[in-house]
Amino acid sequence: MQIICARKRAMGWLVVVGTMFTTGWSLCGVRAESQGRGSAPAPPEQANTEHAVDALSADMTIRQWRIAADGKPLGADPPSFTMKLQRERHGQGWHTSLSLQRAEPPLVQGLSGPRALDNPFLVARFEYDDDGTEPKMYDVSGRVMAGPTEADRARLGLPLDLRDPSWDPTALAGRARGAARGAANRSAANGLLLKQADHSQRRADLQQRFGPRAGQVRGLDRFVHTFGPEVHELLVDPALALTMEMNVSGQGGLLSHAVFEYQPFGKADLLRHHAQAQRVIPASGGSRIVTDVTIANVIVDTRGGR
Amino acid sequence: MRGRWGGTRVVVCVLILAMARGLAAQDRPVVFLHGLGSNSNGWVDTAERLRQQTAIEPRLPDFNWRKSFQDQAGDVRNRPELAALTAPVLVGHSNGGLVAREWSRGRHVDGVVTIGTPHRGAPLMPNFFQWTSFNAAAPSLLNTTLRAFSDWTDFSWTFWYIQNALNWVADFSIWAVFSLGTTLGFDAALPVAGQMHPYSSYVSDVNSSTNLGREASDIPSRVGVVSVAHNFYWAGPARAAVPDLADGIAVALYGAAFGLEYWAGYIMIEADPSDFAATEQAFSLFTVASYILAIDPFYCRVVSTYGLNDCVENDGVVPYTSQEYPNAPNMYIGTDNDGPAHVQERQRSGDALYSALTWYMHIPNRGSTPTPTPPPPSPPAPGDPSPAPSGGSAPTGSFVMQPDQVLYPDDRIDSVNGLYHFVYQADGNLVLYEENWAPLWASHTDGSLPGLVIMQSDGNFVLYDGNGVALWASGSSVNHPGAYLIVQDDGNVVIYEAGGGALWATGTAR
């Protein structure tokens, strides 16, 4: 089975990408074999997912940090955390829960020496059913809680004339209200589990979204789409039609850059087990926020197939 | 919080008149000094409670907190009604504690109590611009999210559920700068602001061995009250500005952050990898959530150290390391992170101030025998710089570092015979020299940001850099209260426990 990954090239952040990016970011959608990379991580639980999935669980670890334009860490990072994803069929859709498994406690210099702080304000669990009902969140004590409300916003007491005039989500929120909430024909994890054999369908989807490929970059098919002032670029493995890199450019530079890695899963599937995105913090001299998502311990249950 | 000057004066006058009726002849004059962005109003209730409990005659002057510490102290101590006091006890909150110390340079005082005072400067002051810059990124990040969701996908409906979180963040990022600035008075042009820089010449001078030695001899009683605020870390800027609302704001902050993280994860799970727009939506949410979750770690560093290198327990405004009165005993409140926040310290530290006045200032209870209550317990070792009984056996003299004594850059201790010099150099290195200034021993910390070297009351002798990070330590900290350091005439520098046993030495005896 072919293992595909996306990784940074050894030359760091100095590679000019394709024909559209002239900033100091590199892209790294390359075949592992061609770069002499070691073997892929041990495959997770093997499962025959040729039947439709009825239930799925996985651990999703999110690490985030800020870096300067030269790639050096800026410090004061948010905590990393791991959440357990669980999905089960629920009526015409899915019951989804994301439960906090572990959150990295901040380390502070205390009167008695260094110590880790427990966060009493963690949101421990999120649940959503694809049936139009409200999502639910629970705190660490199991109590239902809400995200910030307009009352919370009002409690800040920010004078209206100090509010950011460029911020107005009203129209977009109105448009989103009442729109589709999940779809019955979706699989348990379109974004995580992909069938190798579906490469033709994936390529067709890509061409429908982006049109025909616009050449190749480092052996990867390149698709380009213009969205307002931004240019979106997708670099895709030509054989499996898997997205390896995503880039957004605009305002004279690269605004975001994401890479993806896959590993074999079961007999015929691929698991997108790692994604990392860097997004420019506007007006910050080129500093970026990095989000790193790792998927592990994936278990699927077909319950005999459907 | 800022008050209204006119109203304050009326309140103070009424209070003083009311107090005057009940004064006894032996009541000690105690002057309560306010801090930055404040006035005497915040002392009224506490002063009255303490007057009822102890034999004090409170005075609550207002003065211009924008001026330099020297000018503030000069203005207030030269007022006729205060200049007439022969031996007042001064109680200073925040910058008022430094005004009190400054007062003592020009006129005798009988005692000084500081609470929440930035003795070693307030990193928040020089770091405030960086705090502003951090928050300035929020509007653009939010608009990036708005743009991502304007590209319609199968997941754009989630925007309905996240809009409140984004709205809250939009306001919070502005509020966190505006509210903090106005609450603490940072919005005004302040001559005193430069003096609050941790590396200002003022901070260096007021904590110099010369001035600390003068204070030790001129001020019979000194004590610092140090607070670590309730949940100081969580929704940090709210602890500083509106501590009574801070827990609620923390719920909103983490609700927003984790709500966005969860929705981002949801989209990541569902969206086909080729769905560029949906993936952009997910990552834009991850990014905003990351910004929100970085607020507390970043703010804690803004408060803690100039250079943003560390997070130190604090009262929302001043790290505990700066609240500690150098070369003086300190009392700690909120050691379980449940103390008052900076702006609450005057109103909610009554017990600690009562102990400070009765135990350390030797002021008797009103109408009773003078039996002061013990002070609050000190925090546990190893970071405990609070005084401990030494057993009275430690030698004294300029060749000895007693518990809590500090060396600042360019300070030195000489042996009695004058042949050996133990120097904390301005390059950050701690070096023992012999007579011809040949080095015998060094901590090898040269090149570090100069900070201080302290003979901690737990027995540990520690070199902290300018960011408060311990770079070198003697390692003699296990339960040795009262240990002291001597530069001996034989060229050896030795730490002895209170009972006389040697704990550590440079091993340079000649």
Q: pLDDT band at residue A256, thresholds of 50, 70 and 90?
A: very high
Q: Report whether pLDDT(A30) > 60.
A: no
Split at pLDDT 50, 70, 90, the class of A193 is very high
Of the candidates B265, B291, B380, the beta carbon closest to that of A289 is on: B291
Distance (Å, rounded) from C-alpha B488 to C-alpha B510? 10
| SS3 (DSSP) at B161 | helix
pLDDT of res. A91: 77
DSSP B363: P
Q: What is the pTM of this model?
A: 0.77
Query: What are the 10-residue block averages of pLDDT along chain B, 510 residues in total?
Result: 30 39 69 94 96 96 94 96 94 98 96 98 93 91 91 88 94 93 70 90 96 94 96 96 95 96 93 89 96 96 94 96 95 87 94 94 78 48 34 66 83 86 90 87 88 83 80 79 88 87 87
For residue range A78-127, what is the model confidence (pLDDT) as tens digits? 999 999 999 998 877 889 999 999 999 999 999 888 999 999 999 999 99
What is the per-residue pLDDT for A303? 66
What 8-state DSSP symbol labels residue B156? G
Which comes out higher in pLDDT, residue A52 or A159? A159
Predicted confidence at residue A239, as pLDDT, reads 95
pLDDT tens-digit series, residues B482-498 = 888 999 988 999 998 88
Give the whole-angstrom CA distance, residue B6 versus residue B10: 7
Tell me the C-alpha to C-alpha distance, in Å, between residue B307 and each of A128, A200, B130, B301, B426. 43, 54, 10, 8, 18
Q: Inform me whether the C-beta atom of residue A137 falls under 8 Å from chain B C-beta atoms.
A: yes
Q: How far does the CA of residue B100 sit from the closest CA of chain A (Å)?
A: 25
pLDDT tens figures, A134-147: 899 999 999 999 88
Q: What is the mean pLDDT of chain A?
A: 81
Handedness of CA B194, B195, B196, B198 (dihedral sign): positive
Residue B222 has what pLDDT? 96
Q: What is the pLDDT of residue A181?
A: 62
Model confidence at A242, pLDDT cuts 50, 70, 90, reads very high
pLDDT of residue B212: 95
Q: What is the pLDDT of residues A268-301, one digit of tens each?
A: 789 999 999 999 998 788 899 999 999 999 999 8
Q: Which of residues 78-107 of A touch B (CB under 8 A)?
A: 78-79, 81, 83, 85, 87, 96, 98, 100, 106-107
Interface test with A, best of B249, B290, B331 (most A CBs within 10 A): B290
A51-60, A168-177, B120-129, B475-484: range with lowest mean pLDDT:
B475-484
> Which range has the worst mean pLDDT, A26-30, A47-51, A238-242?
A26-30
Hey, which residues does A96 pair with through a beta bridge?
A87, A128
Q: Do A275 and B268 touch (CB under 8 A)?
A: yes
Please report the residues numbered 18 through 37 in chain A whose beta carbons come closer than 8 angstroms to any beta carbon of chain B: none
Q: What percent of chain A lies above the pLDDT cut of 70? A: 80
Terminal-to-terminal C-alpha distance of chain A? 27
- Examine the pLDDT at A13 and tell me if it is beyond 70: no
Helix axes B159-184, B124-150, angle to 10 degrees: 160
The pLDDT score that the predictor gives to residue B465 is 80
* Average pLDDT, integer, range A37-49: 36
